[in-house]
Structure 1
Amino acid sequence: MTTSSREAILDSLRNATRKDSNIYADLPRNYVQRGSLDMASRLHLMTERLREYGAEVLESATAELPASIAHLLHSTGRRTFVVPPGLPTEWLSPAFGWKIDHSLSHDGIEHSDGVVTGASAAVADSGTIVLHHSSTEGRRVLTLLPDFHLCILRAHQIVETLPEYFARFPQPPRLATYISGPSATADIEMTRIKGVHGPRFLSVIIVRDEN
């Protein structure tokens, strides 16, 4: 690299990082910042994206949610699940074994049949679920080690575009997890492998908002 090229790169970095409050405000924002879909269309798009990724998606009314959770978990044949400490107790059917995460060991988490959590938000355009790791979402390790993840997502948490998510959460937590379908990678000889970075199986229950 010649000296002139090196200086050109450094000058670009200095210009991009200099502390000038007007630079950020003056940046062009020609991308789509707000979607145009109504609630029903957002739910349809979110469901379509999740299913394209290979996730199972169900809808439920609020009053039917405990029964919907029990029915879905029963259909998987799994019986023991890890849950964050803040998950509503009425969601936890006595038909299953529940491990409440009060600092469970990694071994204890990994040897469960799955995990059940809530969510903070979702982006319909990309089919992405966002976890901020609140008391209903749990530690990040909960959604990395088990082979199965059931996520409870409320309809009002779904936005259409990523800029709308950041408008809703202008200062998201330093640790957030963005989930777009079950874990999968094709980095190894371009062969798709599931479960390398997290659960191989993702199920989502979308809870309809009540008027």
Structure 2
Amino acid sequence: MASNKNKLIGCLPYLLVAILLSWGMYECDYQYSYWRDYQVRPWAYNRDKNAKLLVGSWQGKFKDPDGIEKSMVLEVFVPLSDADRRKKASRSHRRRTRGGLGSTSEKRMFEGKAQVKSRLGIEDYLLSGSVGKEDFHQLKMGFRAEEEKTRLQPNFCINLIESGNWSEDKMSLQLGFAYFKADGSSFWSSSDPRHSYKTTCQLSRIQNPKN
């Protein structure tokens, strides 16, 4: 018994070293992923807490193809939360790779949500988009209803943002629309100019968004 106990005690230093090495490798993966994102996702992450980023909340107004004035609040989510980053670092360490960092194209993608209000009612959207490869101040986005069953209709819904840009506290988006009839089916007519209508929405950063 004494011999086994001595062997166990003798193994403790090696076990401690293994734990410390494992933690160190995990922490390296975690810190490296942040460092990498500072380089390739400068629109989403910055060491300066006061830096102007695409991530955050924005608001603006526009008129739809029927001339109805609408207001929009748009939020761009942080691509990877700190909690998720730690989970990825843990998985990366177990695989002994730098996994979870994502490809170059993935690093340009983002998700978010938007809410549009008008005299017609409320439109809730989910959005996905990407920043430009050469200039991360250039944007493209696609919108879809958050809940198809509760989509406001008949209505010209936001569909695509083929071009847009942002800088500091301003954002400009060229909006395209899709028309949905009362029965939920989409409709388009080449002879109706409303269906080819595009407009520019100017948005401003919401400095202290409410939760």
Same fold flag (TM > 0.5) = no
What's the TM-score once normalised by structure 2's chain length? 0.19
The structure, 1 or 2, with the larger RCO (C-alpha pairs under 8 Å, 6+ apart) is: 1
Which structure's residues are more often strand, by fraction?
A: 2
What's the TM-score once normalised by structure 1's chain length? 0.19
Which structure's residues are more often helix, by fraction?
A: 1
Larger radius of gyration: 2
